[in-house]
Amino acid sequence: MNKRRVATEIKRWKHFFEVLNDWDIIYDKNHKDKCQVSINLKDKVAKIHDCKKWEGEKVSSERYIFHEMLHIAYRASKGSNKREEEFIRDLCELYYYDEDH
């Protein structure tokens, strides 16, 4: 995956999901585990691991990063009603985006 494209996608979704504003999220191309994310809730750090094939199919970097960012945002929102509400509002905004624009 192109490093610049991945960084752009992470930045895009980190900005979009309010619950991730204070998170440090990086792409780890060299991690031994592939196609998953490591999440440290206490330190608000997540590492998205490299993925070239997902469930046997080649995957676009945009789609894969979005998938993992959803995991991170979901986990970041748990345990707090306020953060959970922020996450749900962001999902609704994403869902209804085409209707609003």
Interval 19-41: pLDDT, tens = 999 999 999 888 778 889 999 99
Residue-by-residue DSSP string for 35-79: S-EEEETTTTEEEEEP-SEETTEE--HHHHHHHHHHHHHHHHHTT
Mean of per-residue pLDDT scores for the chain: 90
Q: Which range of residues forms the domain containing residue 43? A: 3-100
* Residues 97, 9: Cα–Cα separation, whole Å: 18
Question: Taking residues 74-81, what's their average pLDDT?
Answer: 96
Mean pLDDT value of segment 10-14: 95
- pLDDT tier at 101, thresholds 50, 70, 90: low
The CATH number of whichever domain residue 43 belongs to comes to 3.30.2010
Encode pLDDT of 50-71 as tens digits.
988 767 778 888 899 999 999 9
Q: What percent of the chain has pLDDT over 90?
A: 65
Domains held by the chain: number: 1
